[in-house]
C-alpha cells in the first residue's frame, strides 16, 4: 500500500515563485489564497494538499511531477555525494543524519552544497596552476614584486630616511642639477630622437645625464631624481632587495626599478615636509602638486607611502589602469582587497573617468562583506609632448578606509556613516550580489537559472539549489 504522508514543498515552491518573478502577494492572487498561507507553505509550516498541487499545475501550466518532486531526497543524494569527499573521511556521518538534515533543514543543506562547490572549483583551479608550473604565467614576477611591496605596506624606512637626508643636501646645493654638477655630472635636455627615443640616459663616458626635452617640468625633475636614486642610493636599494629571496631575476629587476622610483619620490617629496603639507592641505593633490613641483600621479603614489612608524598618515590603496582595464600599477597601504586575476568592478569610478578627462571624481564604496572605502579617481596622461607624439591616457585611483575620509578635502565633510555608497565587488567571480546589472560572469558556487519564464534586468539570475 502506498505511503500516505504530508507533502512539504517549501523550498521548491519558493524557487518556483522566484523563477516566475512573482511576489508572495501575486502568487496568492493567482492561487486565490492568502499571502500568509503562501508564506506558511514556503516555510514548510503547512503541507501542500492535492487541491493546491492541482492549482499550481493548472495556473502555471506545469507538470505535477515537476512540482511534487521530493527536495529532501534530492538534497540527501547530493549531500551524500559531497560527503564522500576525502576531506570528510574521518568524520562519522550516518545516512540517517544526512537524510534528517536534507529534509528538515534545506537551507543549511544548500549552504553546505554551495560552499563545497566553491571549494572544489577553486581547488581545481589551484591544482591546474601548480601543474602548469611557476613560469606558466609570464606576469608571475610582476605579482611577486607586488606581493613584496604589499608585505611592506609600500614603506621602506631605511630607504626613505636616507632619501630625506639626501633631499636636504640637494636643497642646500641649490637643486638637483647643481648637486649633480658638484659630482661632475652635467644635465642636458635633448630631443627624443637624439636620445634614441629614451626619456633618460646616462652617458658614462662624458658624465652627462641626458633628459628628453619634451618632458614637462615635473617629469624632468622626477627623471633626474631617479638617476640620483640609482647612483647615490644604490646600496640602500640593493640591501632592501637582498632582505628577501625571489623566484627569478626578473622580480629583482622589477623591484630595483620600483624602489628607485620610490626613492626618487622621497627625494622630490621628503617625508616630513610632505606629510605635514598633506595634513595642512587636507590631502588636496593639486595643491601638493604645486608645492612640490610634482605630477598628480607622483603625488598620489607618494601618499601611499606615508606609513613611517609614529608618523603614519592616512593609509591609501593606489591603482593605475588603462582604458581596457589592464592594471599597470597597484600599491596597497589601506588593506583594500583587489583580485590578482580577472577584471575589477566596472561600478568603481576608476573605470569611468575616461569619459571625464582631468576631473577628480569622488566615490563612497561598499564591498560585499560590508567594508566601506572612500575613493577618488582621475585620468592622467603620459608620453611624448608635441604634435603627433604618442600620448597614453590612464586612470589612477586612491582609496582609503571610510572612517579616515573625513581628513580628505574631497569628502566634503560628509559623515561616512550616512554617505550613499556604491556597492562594488572585488571581481565578479567573487561577488555574490545577485542583483548587479553590471555583472560579466556568474560568481563561484552559484547555478544560473534559465530564463524560460522570466528575463531579469541583471545578466544572470541564480538558483537557490
pLDDT digits (tens, 9 = 90+) for 103-114: 777 778 888 888
Averaged pLDDT, 174-187: 96
Q: Evaluate if residue 139 carries a pLDDT over 60.
A: no
The dihedral formed by the CA atoms of 77, 81, 82 and 88, expressed in degrees to the nearest 10: 120
Q: Evaluate if residue 78 carries a pLDDT over 70.
A: yes
Return the pLDDT at 62.
84
pLDDT band of residue 181 (cuts 50, 70, 90) is: very high
Return the pLDDT at 138.
44
Across the chain, what does the average pLDDT equal? 86
Share of residues in the chain with pLDDT > 70 (%): 91
Averaged pLDDT, 161-176: 97
Return the pLDDT at 382.
83
pLDDT band of residue 226 (cuts 50, 70, 90) is: very high
Pairing of strands 372-383, 361-366: antiparallel
Lowest mean pLDDT among 61-65, 147-151, 217-221: 61-65
Residue 389 or 148, more confident: 148
Residue 349: HSE in the Cβ half-sphere, 13 Å Cα cutoff: 23
Return the pLDDT at 81.
85
Return the pLDDT at 103.
73
Neighbours of 73 (CB within 10 A): 12
Averaged pLDDT, 43-50: 88
| Number of residues written out for the chain | 465
pLDDT band of residue 3 (cuts 50, 70, 90) is: low
Instruction: Sort 187 into a burial class: Cβ within 10 Å, 0-12 / 13-18 / 19+.
Output: middle
Q: Evaluate if residue 58 carries a pLDDT over 70.
A: yes
Lowest mean pLDDT among 39-53, 83-97, 180-194, 258-272: 83-97
Return the pLDDT at 133.
47
Return the pLDDT at 141.
87
Averaged pLDDT, 263-281: 98
Return the pLDDT at 169.
97
Pairing of strands 208-212, 186-190: parallel
Instruction: Sort 3 into a burial class: Cβ within 10 Å, 0-12 / 13-18 / 19+.
Output: exposed
Return the pLDDT at 368.
82
Amino acid at each position: 500500500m502506498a505511503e500516505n504522508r504530508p507533502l512539504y514543498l517549501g523550498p521548491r515552491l519558493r524557487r518556483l515563485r522566484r523563477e516566475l518573478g512573482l511576489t508572495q502577494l501575486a502568487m496568492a492572487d493567482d492561487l486565490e489564497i492568502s499571502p500568509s498561507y503562501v508564506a506558511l507553505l514556503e516555510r514548510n509550516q503547512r503541507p501542500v494538499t492535492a487541491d493546491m498541487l492541482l492549482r499550481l499545475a493548472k495556473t502555471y501550466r506545469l507538470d505535477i511531477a515537476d512540482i511534487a518532486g521530493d527536495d529532501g531526497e534530492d538534497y540527501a543524494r547530493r549531500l551524500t555525494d559531497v560527503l564522500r569527499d576525502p576531506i570528510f573521511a574521518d568524520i562519522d556521518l550516518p545516512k540517517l543524519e544526512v537524510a534528517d538534515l536534507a529534509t528538515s533543514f534545506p537551507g543549511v543543506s544548500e549552504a553546505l552544497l554551495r560552499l563545497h562547490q566553491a571549494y572544489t572549483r577553486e581547488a581545481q583551479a589551484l591544482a591546474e596552476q601548480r601543474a602548469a608550473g611557476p613560469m606558466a604565467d609570464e606576469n608571475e614576477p610582476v605579482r611577486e614584486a607586488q606581493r613584496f611591496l604589499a608585505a611592506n605596506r609600500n614603506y621602506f624606512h631605511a630607504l626613505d630616511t636616507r632619501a630625506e637626508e639626501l633631499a636636504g643636501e640637494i636643497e642646500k646645493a641649490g637643486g638637483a642639477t647643481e648637486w649633480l654638477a658638484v659630482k661632475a655630472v652635467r644635465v642636458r635636455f635633448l630631443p627624443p630622437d637624439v636620445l634614441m627615443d629614451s626619456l633618460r640616459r646616462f652617458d658614462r663616458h662624458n658624465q652627462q645625464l641626458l633628459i628628453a626635452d619634451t618632458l614637462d617640468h615635473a617629469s624632468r625633475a622626477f627623471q633626474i631624481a631617479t638617476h640620483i636614486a640609482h647612483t647615490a642610493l644604490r646600496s640602500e636599494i640593493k640591501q632592501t632587495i637582498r632582505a628577501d629571496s625571489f623566484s627569478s631575476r626578473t622580480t629583482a629587476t622589477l623591484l630595483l626599478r620600483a624602489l628607485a622610483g620610490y626613492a626618487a619620490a622621497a627625494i622630490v617629496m621628503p617625508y616630513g615636509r610632505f606629510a605635514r603639507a598633506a595634513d595642512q592641505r587636507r590631502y588636496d593633490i593639486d595643491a601638493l602638486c604645486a608645492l612640490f613641483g610634482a605630477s598628480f600621479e607622483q603625488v598620489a603614489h607618494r601618499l601611499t607611502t606615508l606609513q613611517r612608524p609614529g608618523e603614519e598618515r592616512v593609509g591609501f590603496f593606489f591603482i593605475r589602469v588603462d582604458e581596457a582595464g589592464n592594471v599597470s600599477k597597484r600599491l596597497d597601504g589601506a588593506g583594500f582587497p583587489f583580485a590578482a586575476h580577472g577584471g575589477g568592478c566596472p561600478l568603481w569610478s576608476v573605470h569611468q573617468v575616461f569619459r571625464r578627462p582631468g576631473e577628480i571624481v569622488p566615490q563612497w564604496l561598499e564591498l560585499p562583506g560590508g567594508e566601506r572605502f572612500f575613493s577618488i579617481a582621475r585620468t592622467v596622461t603620459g608620453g611624448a609632448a608635441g604634435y603627433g607624439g604618442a600620448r597614453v591616457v590612464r586612470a589612477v585611483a586612491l582609496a582609503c578606509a571610510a572612517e579616515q575620509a573625513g581628513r580628505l578635502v574631497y569628502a566634503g565633510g560628509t559623515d561616512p556613516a550616512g554617505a550613499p555608497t556604491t556597492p562594488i565587488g572585488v571581481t565578479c567571480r567573487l561577488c555574490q550580489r545577485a542583483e548587479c546589472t553590471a555583472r560579466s560572469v556568474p560568481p563561484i558556487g552559484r547555478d544560473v537559472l534559465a530564463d524560460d519564464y522570466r528575463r531579469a534586468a541583471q545578466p544572470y539570475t541564480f538558483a537557490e539549489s
